[in-house]
Chains A and B, each alone.
Chain A
Amino acid sequence: MNAASGIVEEDTQLQLELKAPGNATAGIESVLGSLIEEDGDIVAALVASADGLPWARVLPDSFDARRFSAMSGSLLALSLAMAREAGRGEARSVFIATEKGNIHVLQAGYTLLLTVFTRAGADLHPAFARIQRAATQIEKIKSAFDIASAPR
């Protein structure tokens, strides 16, 4: 938890993940870009690892990718724990309705999660469909990258 083993190393991790050319990040950021471009109700999106590290993002400068990634990981993990506790199987997503819009956190495969911010009054039906499609695309990109980079 000290500076030596905490934030500084997480910075390095973030840089490594975001900078590595040819990895899944570029493809995933392209998916996020298209998602925002296609749906005017979606204002920001990020992809994080299940353990809360930033992977890719299309966020306004005011959004802290590290913090939202960690919060997304915590939220989804808590929802998984609650669903299991209630005997409801695996949780797939968390939806937060706020005064100024909505926040949707959902799984994008086993190891990644997608967080999307929508405007207040957004038409959620088409937005949900696009968000779900983006999550599936992200999962495929990550899987393809994992297969391509697996030791032979």
Chain B
Amino acid sequence: MRTMRLSPIGPASDAVDYKIIFTGPTGAGKTSAISCLSDIPIIGTDVGATDAVRSGRKRTTVAMDYGYRHLSPGEGIHLYGTPGQDRFNFMWDILCQGGLGLILLVDATSADPVGDCLSCLGAFDGFIRRTGAVIGITRADIAENMRYERVQDVLIEKGYAIPVLEVDARDSDDVNTLVHSLLAVL
């Protein structure tokens, strides 16, 4: 596993911190996942959604979500969540700087979850190839005809070797599993 030392907090600090980025389309569960994993109240930038009719969501993240998970004394993970809409793509590169890897969340009940996966992987292609990624399929339990194997098959066809898991973004055990899967592939 690759270790990455981010800017220490103060010159005398010997803390080792990692940075993981959560991304995915709007409503995939990024904010929920960071909330349930973070040991601190998350810093969010959600505002009222003016396109609520279309997205079905009243609020949306417009800059980032931030949380922190302590691993051991002097060691922890910074958890960053990206905005989901394409218009905020300038934030994606900013948030990925210094990142250890990517957790992509995709809502199985969306119109085209496989397309969502491929679109996001394309958008983060450079970062993923330098680091690593895992995919969490959310709401798979209520999606008809949507299994993670379907996503995995398409990814293999496209040449991606990325683990795919079904997760509940509100469940800390599930999100922990995603993080550990990511760390395992780095």
Q: Show the binding face of A for B, using Cβ within 8 Å.
A: 1-7, 9-10, 13, 49-53, 66-67, 69-71, 73-75, 77-78, 80-81, 85, 110-111
Contacts and interface: CB of A to CB of B under 8 A. Distances in A.
Interface centre among B60, B63, B111, by most A CB within 10 Å?
B63
A1 B25 CA distance: 5
**Main DSSP-derived SS at the A contact region:** helix
A60 to B, nearest CB: 19
A15 to B, nearest CB: 13
Given A53-B87, A77-B46, 6 more contacts: A7-B86, A9-B51, A51-B62, A70-B62, A74-B63, A77-B62
CB-based closest 6 A-B pairs:
A77-B45, A2-B119, A6-B86, A74-B63, A70-B87, A50-B47
Contacts of B123: 1
A5 B50 CA distance: 15
Given A1-B84, A1-B123, A74 B116 contact: no
Contacts of B120: 1
Interface in B81-119: 83-88, 90-91, 110-112, 115-116, 118-119
A13 B51 contact: yes
B85 A6 contact: yes
B49 interface: yes
A51 to B, nearest CB: 5
Nearest to A74: B63
A66 B87 contact: yes
B90 A70 contact: yes
Contacts of A13: 51, 54
A67 B54 contact: no
B60 A81 contact: no
Given A1-B86, A4-B115, A51 B48 contact: yes
B43 interface: yes
Nearest to A9: B54
A3 B118 CA distance: 11
B44 interface: yes
Contact of A50 (B44, B48, B84, B88): B48
B43 A81 contact: yes
Contacts of A9: 51, 54
Contacts of B118: 2
A52 B91 CA distance: 13
A10 B50 CA distance: 11
A75 B85 CA distance: 16
B25 A81 contact: no
B50 A78 contact: no
Contacts of B43: 81, 85
A9 B14 CA distance: 47
B63 A78 contact: yes
14 contacts: A5-B111, A5-B112, A7-B87, A9-B51, A10-B86, A49-B50, A50-B50, A69-B87, A71-B90, A73-B63, A74-B45, A74-B83, A75-B63, A77-B47
